Structure 1
Amino acid sequence: MSKDDHEHAPPTRDEIVSQGTCAWNGKPYDAYPPGTPELTVKRMTIPPRTKLAWHTHPMPNASYILSGQLTVEDRATGQTHVVRAGQSFNEQVGAEHRGFTGDEPCVVVITYAGTPGMPLSVPAPDRGDANP
C-alpha cells in the first residue's frame, strides 16, 4: 500500500464496549493488584445448560459475549444479570459468583488485569447451600 492509499482509507469505527469503575452489580473496584501488571485475554466456550462453579476473581476483569447468552449470579444476594451476544460486563472482584447458560453454548472473551502468577479465578468453598 502506498501512503496515498492510507490517506484515503475509510475512517475506523471505534466503540467502547465496556468501561467502568465498578462491577455489573454496582460494587466499586478498590484498586489493581500490586506488582508488575499482566494482562490476560481468555476465550471460553461454555456448553448449553451449564452452571459454572462458584468462584471469585482476585483482579478486575471484563467479559465480552461473542455468541449465546450468559446469566451471571451473585451468591450472597442472588442478584442476576443477563448478558447477550454483542454485550459486555465488568466482573466482580472478591465476591462469590457464577455464570450459567441457556439452551445454546456461550462464547465469551475475558480480559483480566492481574500480575504474573496470580490465578484468574479461585474456586469458592462448598457451602452446602441449596444453590449448588
Structure 2
Amino acid sequence: MNSLVHRLFWISLVVCGAVSLVWGHEEGEGDLKVTVLAKSSDAWDNQPLPHYPTGQPEITVLKIIIPEGKKTPLHFHSVINAAVLQKGEVDVHMPDGKTKKLKAGDTLIEVVDKAHWGENVGQGDAEFLVFYAGEKGEQITHLLHEGEKPNADTEKADR
C-alpha cells in the first residue's frame, strides 16, 4: 500500500470511529453527552486553515497559563491548533490591529503562520488547553522580536 493510501485508510478509520461514537451517544441517549465546542475550516481571523502536513502526524496538547496582567511574547504557530480558555479573560492581538476577545469557556481556532500575542485582561491567571496538529519533529511555536514577521518561506499569503 503506498503512503497516501495507507494514510487515508487510517484517517478514514479514525473518522468512522469518531462518527460512530457521536452517533451512538446522541442527546438523550445514555449518560454520555457530546457537545461540539468548535468546528471550522477557518482560523479566528476568518482566513482558511492550511492543508495538513504530509509527514508523520504528531499531536501536542499543552496547558498554558498567562498570569494576571501579563502578555505572551509575539509569536506564530506553524501548525494548526485550537484552544479552550478554561479560566480567565484573554485578548488575542495581531499587529494589523485584529483582536479576538475570549472569556472562560470560549474556543479559539488559532491563526497559522501569522504573528500574534495574547494578553490576560481579567482577574487572576488565564488558563488555556491547546491542541496542536503538527508533524513529528516540527516546532509548533516560533518567537518573534518586535516588528519581526514570520519568514516568507513559512507565511503563506495566498490562504
> Which of residues 46, 55, 72 is equivalent to 2:75?
55
Letter in 1 for 2:91: T
1:89 paired with 2:111, answer no
1:29 paired with 2:60, answer no
Q: Give per-residue Cα distances to partners, 1:42-88, cap 9 Å, x unaligned.
A: 0111100011111010010000011101111111x211111111110
Paired with 1:30 and 1:80, the residues of 2 have a C-alpha distance of 21
TM-score, structure 2 length as denominator?
Answer: 0.71
More helix by share: 2
Q: CA RMSD in A?
A: 1.5
Question: Which structure exhibits the higher relative contact order, with contacts defined as CA atoms closer than 8 Å and separated by 6 or more residues?
Answer: 1
Paired with 1:74 and 1:127, the residues of 2 have a C-alpha distance of 11
TM-score, structure 1 length as denominator?
Answer: 0.84
- Determine the structure 1 residue equivalent to 2:84: 64
More strand by share: 1
Displacement, 1:116?
1.3
Displacement, 1:30?
2.1
Amino-acid identity (%): 26
> Which of residues 120, 126, 133 is equivalent to 1:106?
126
Aligned length: 119
Paired with 2:147 and 2:106, the residues of 1 have a C-alpha distance of 31
The runs of 5 or more residues in structure 1 that have no matched partner are: 1-8
The runs of 5 or more residues in structure 2 that have no matched partner are: 1-28, 149-159
Runs ≥4 residues deviating over 6 A: none
Q: Give per-residue Cα distances to partners, 1:62-120, cap 9 Å, x unaligned.
A: 00011101111111x21111111111010000000010002321010000000111112
